[in-house]
Amino acid sequence: MSEHTTSVEQGIVLFKEGNFEQAVGILEDASRQFPGSYEAFVYLGAAYAQQGRHNAAIGALKRASEIKPDSPRIHYNLGQAYEAAGVPREAWFEYKKALELDPKYGLARGALISLSQRLPKLLGSGIEVAA
């Protein structure tokens, strides 16, 4: 087992156990040490989101999407982070990207439909959004 696998896996285990504070510390170190590790950034973003640190979550998930741009899950999670951070237009684009990558992705479809129904109110009148 490589050092990369050990540190990233340790952070993932802590995340799955609900120990987000410790997971963030381990995954921040892992993401610095292994800047090409998609898993480190995905779980780091998720751990930040669990702590309500939405801007940090967006940053980590954007990095994960640069490493693995064809992952619908990353785009969905990035949409969730944008929505939680109060940036609905960016969330809408991320959900749409997730569905372009996987048209059967039910979570992304549900989120896009829900956000599309709320988006005109969130952004003001006169804006049309096609789902």
Q: Where are the domains of the chain?
A: 1-68, 70-131
Q: Which residue has the higher pLDDT, 27 or 127?
A: 27
User: Residue 49: which pLDDT band, with cuts at 50, 70 and 90?
Assistant: very high
70-131 has which fold?
1.25.40
Long-range contacts of 11-17 (CB under 8 A, 24+ apart): 11/40, 11/43, 11/44, 11/47, 12/39, 12/43, 15/43, 15/46, 15/47, 15/50
Q: Do the first three CATH levels of 1-68 and 70-131 match, i.e. the same topology?
A: yes
DSSP letter, residue 115: H
User: Residue 1: which pLDDT band, with cuts at 50, 70 and 90?
Assistant: very low
Q: How many Å apart are CA 49 and CA 54, to the nearest integer?
A: 5
Q: Model-level pTM?
A: 0.86
Residue 79 has pLDDT above 90, yes or no: yes
1-68 has which fold?
1.25.40
User: Residue 57: which pLDDT band, with cuts at 50, 70 and 90?
Assistant: very high
Q: How far from the centroid of its chain's Cα atoms is residue 126's Cα?
A: 29
Q: How many Å apart are CA 46 and CA 15, to the nearest integer?
A: 8
